[in-house]
Chains A and B, each alone.
Chain A
Amino acid sequence: GAVVSQHPSWVICKSGTSVKIECRSLDFQATTMFWYRQFPKQSLMLMATSNEGSKATYEQGVEKDKFLINHASLTLSTLTVTSAHPEDSSFYICSARTEWAGSPLHFGNGTRLTVT
């Protein structure tokens, strides 16, 4: 079945540094990719939607200058958390799907970010 690879699976960084998370679709062309964050014991919160070759659409309350999303190809999207702060510590998950409206979402395994 379709696989989405997310890397790294966990990262610890110092406050003020930037962290890049990669999301790759391994065996299909991901027209659309989504980025979420998840706090403990809570559901996924959509941060932004990115379509290949265009600017990401951010959800209300998500700072686009802090969470930079690049969807440069049909198999790769990246999320960069800039100038990370401890409150950015969270579980970040990506998902991807093809352009077909009924296509399922395929999720990555998530990235645990800890900012010290």
Chain B
Amino acid sequence: KNQVEQSPQSLIILEGKNCTLQCNYTVSPFSNLRWYKQDTGRGPVSLTIMTFSENTKSNGRYTATLDADTKQSSLHITASQLSDSASYICVVSAINAGNMLTFGGGTRLMVKP
């Protein structure tokens, strides 16, 4: 069964600090992995898209890593800002009919001043 597990479920950090969110998956055959940021009451917004051959990809203060061998991904946020408070969702796509998507449960991040 395809699964995506995210940890931690929730996280509170102080403004300016760094943090790392984890995503482990069992989706197979793997196509790509995406990290989304979802502000409260809004739709998710894509942060990064990673394919099998990519190990690291950055988008501003967000850096995603992918280890396709261990089926793990991380999202590192540098110098956090109050506006980073949101839910971060990991979504993994499989190479099959319909390119099935499997969603992680998300990590709720709160950045405090």
Please report A residues at the B interface, Cβ cutoff 8 Å.
4, 6, 32, 34, 41-46, 49, 57, 91, 93, 95, 101-102, 104-110, 112
Residue in B32, B36, B42, B46 whose CB lies within 8 Å of A110: B42
Residues of B within 8 A of A (CB): 31-32, 34, 36, 41-46, 49, 51, 87, 89, 91, 93, 95, 98-99, 101, 103-106, 108
Q: 30 A-B pairs, CB-CB below 8 angstroms?
A: A4-B43, A41-B108, A43-B89, A43-B103, A43-B105, A43-B106, A44-B44, A44-B89, A44-B103, A49-B98, A57-B98, A95-B43, A95-B44, A101-B31, A101-B93, A101-B95, A102-B31, A102-B32, A102-B51, A104-B34, A104-B46, A104-B49, A105-B34, A105-B46, A107-B36, A107-B44, A108-B43, A109-B42, A110-B42, A110-B43
- Give bound CA distance, A32 to B32, whole Å: 17
Please report the C-alpha to C-alpha distance between residue A102 and residue B98 in the assembled complex, in whole angstroms.
11
Task: Give the nearest-CB partner of B51 in chain A.
Answer: A102
A112→B44 CA distance, assembly (Å): 15
Q: Which chain A residues lie closer than 8 Å to B99 at the CB level?
A: 101
Q: Which residue of the partner chain B has the closest CB to A32?
A: B98
In the complex, A4→B42 CA distance in Å? 12
Instruction: Identify 16 new A-B residue pairs, CB closer than 8 A, beyond the known A44-B44, A110-B42.
Output: A42-B105, A42-B106, A43-B87, A43-B104, A44-B103, A91-B41, A93-B44, A95-B43, A101-B31, A102-B32, A102-B49, A106-B46, A107-B44, A107-B45, A109-B42, A110-B43
